[in-house]
A and B are shown apart, each in its own frame.
Chain A
Amino acid sequence: AQTVTQSQPEMSVQEAETVTLSCTYDTSENNYYLFWYKQPPSRQMILVIRQEAYKQQNATENRFSVNFQKAAKSFSLKISDSQLGDTAMYFCAFMKMETDSWGKLQFGAGTQVVVTP
Chain B
Amino acid sequence: DAGVIQSPRHEVTEMGQEVTLRCKPISGHDYLFWYRQTMMRGLELLIYFNNNVPIDDSGMPEDRFSAKMPNASFSTLKIQPSEPRDSAVYFCASSPRTGWDTEAFFGQGTRLTVV
B19 at interface, CB cutoff 8 A: no
B93 at interface, CB cutoff 8 A: yes
A117 at interface, CB cutoff 8 A: no
Q: How far is the CB of A9 from chain B (nearest CB, A)?
A: 12
Contact B103 A104 (CB under 8 A): no
Contact A103 B103 (CB under 8 A): yes
Contact A103 B95 (CB under 8 A): yes
Sorting the interface of chain B by its residue count into under 10, 10 to 19, 20 to 34 or 35 or more gives 20 to 34
Contact A107 B108 (CB under 8 A): no
Stretch from B40-48, B62-70, B71-79 forming part of the interface with A: B40-48
Contact B50 A100 (CB under 8 A): yes
> Chain A: how many interface residues by the 8 Å CB criterion?
24
Q: How far is the CB of B100 from chain A (nearest CB, A)?
A: 7
Which residues in B have some Cβ–Cβ distance to A below 8 Å? 30-31, 33, 35, 42-45, 48, 50, 55-56, 89, 91, 93-95, 97, 100, 102-106, 108-109, 111
9 contacts between A and B (CB under 8 A): A35-B103, A42-B108, A44-B108, A97-B100, A100-B55, A104-B48, A105-B33, A105-B43, A105-B104
